[in-house]
Chain A
Amino acid sequence: MSGKPVPEPTPDTQPFWDGCARGELMLQRCRACGKPYFYPRPICPACGSTDVEWFTASGHATLYSYVINHRPARGFEADGPYAIAVVELAEGPRMMTNIVGIPNTPEDLVLDMELQVTFEPRGDMSLPVFAPAGKKGNP
């Protein structure tokens, strides 16, 4: 087991992490106004309705912004400089992630590039990360 932080689910986030374990990126959306949202919580931030449901997201995303961290967090010491990125999911919400399957350099990481979710083992959990869409190395 790596020394990297392992997410600890709470009742409101458990379906998200259960989805990751199945290889599915789960989001919530409001049944009243239809708007999808992230991070998991039992109320729609757009309209205040508590009538919300889970659904499986496409896993498609684009690269919204990032930094390349040169002072690694605990557990990341062996990785070399790594990108801490925020991606915009095709469904609209954004989330923080890491970018895999491509060198983490300013030249390779181009804003708005298309990405696809993939899952990385982390302790006994599965963590959503993103890789360039299509074949590895960009279509």
Chain B
Amino acid sequence: MTGERGVIIAGAAETDAVGKLPGKSTLQLHIEAAVNAVADAGLMMRDIDGIATVSAPGPVQVAHALGITPTYLDGTGVGGASFLLHVRHAAAAIRAGYARTVLITHGESGRSRVGASPFPRGGSSIPAQFEAPYGTAGPTTAFTIPVLRYMKEYGLTHEQLAYVAVAQRKWAARNPRAMFRDLITVDDVLASRVVAWPFHLLECCLVTDGGGALVVTSADRAADFPKPAVRVLGTGEASEAPMISQLADFTESQAFRHAGQAAFAEAGITTADVRHLMIYDAFAHVPIYGLEALGFTAKGEAGPFIAAGHTEPGGVLPLNTNGGGLSYTHTGMYGMFAIQEGVRQVRGEAAAQVPGADISVILGNGGMFATAGVLVLGRHAR
């Protein structure tokens, strides 16, 4: 989207620290991220007229705590992809004139659970009737189920799956803020504790505390901010199924594909234009599904592609350059952190900076392949 109808990310920041933060509540994390992002944009809180965050604590709580009187609220809560959808919705709201400057916040005491909502249990929802009785216990026991079918259909090996974690640790080693930075081998991964076979501990994301926030506004103000404007060139959102058992095909994510197609079409790019990529990695198989859904490799080839080193430092397609949910941080709704790294790369200020990362694509997952958001960010208007 070019010209006057373009939208930019003018401010972006994470909480002062991410990781184990038992001294900070969920709301504190939102506020800290918001303050940092608004300062990053060189603005004051009174300049914000739109607010977006997931349903708990929700936009009313966050706006009120920050002293914002919004003309636009978005409480879209569809899992870890929500923040990518918030950017998309903010772009539409700004174009429609509903708001001029939208603040998107994430704060989650995912590890310490300070000031966090309790996990729901029991009840008569559809998942409570048709999944919980079989002993599911969160994403490790459900998000993981499709991969065995993928392995049988496409020949993905346990070693290739493990290598996803190995490749991302190489990026994390270059990021001082990453929780795990020591290099690992395939043998290390396969020797780590089995969590939900075929998944080992090192193939599962971290559980951490932290937050991040974004300031989105119109591109006609691109020169008004202290940091280089990051243009929102294309966006997409999609959903598939509310339960893992109901995915149409366990070897692919339709939501990933649909959101990616929409974002690439709006931006007018192909995979060949992409210099930097973030794919939500709650588990080691998700980047494999993401690479294929976005068209970076053919079906069945993403595992070998990663194992050949193409996504690690020095590779042709730098992927999850902050270390990802597997090594950097994962509060539960990781999408905000994937966006933050995309912004840093396009600005040229990332810890593990990719040279010439003028177009970054971010794929966010929500739930367990339930929803997807894709953003195409760029340094220049197209």
Contacts and interface: CB of A to CB of B under 8 A. Distances in A.
Interface of A: 4-10, 13, 39, 64-76, 79, 81-82, 84-86, 94-98, 106, 111-112, 122, 127
A82 B148 CA distance: 15
A69 B196 contact: yes
Contacts of B195: 70-71
Interface stretch (B62-70, B99-107, B139-147, B219-227): B139-147
Contact of B141 (A8, A75, A84): A84
B124 A9 contact: yes
A67 B144 contact: yes
Contact of B197 (A9, A13, A106): A106
A7 B131 CA distance: 9
Given A7-B130, A9-B129, 17 more contacts: A39-B130, A66-B148, A67-B196, A67-B197, A68-B194, A70-B195, A70-B196, A70-B197, A71-B141, A73-B136, A81-B197, A84-B142, A86-B245, A94-B245, A97-B134, A106-B197, A127-B133
Contacts of B194: 68, 70, 81
Interface of B: 121-124, 126, 128-137, 140-142, 144-149, 152, 193-199, 243-246, 250
A14 B274 CA distance: 50
Contacts, number: 116
Nearest to B146: A65
A76 B197 CA distance: 16
Contact of B137 (A9, A65, A71, A79): A71
Contacts of B129: 7-10, 13, 39
A5 B132 contact: yes
A66 to B, nearest CB: 6
A65 B134 contact: no
Contacts of B197: 67-68, 70, 81, 106
A93 to B, nearest CB: 9
A39 B141 contact: no
A8 B197 CA distance: 29
17 contacts: A4-B133, A4-B135, A8-B129, A65-B250, A68-B194, A68-B196, A69-B141, A70-B193, A70-B194, A72-B137, A73-B135, A75-B135, A84-B142, A84-B145, A85-B134, A111-B148, A127-B133
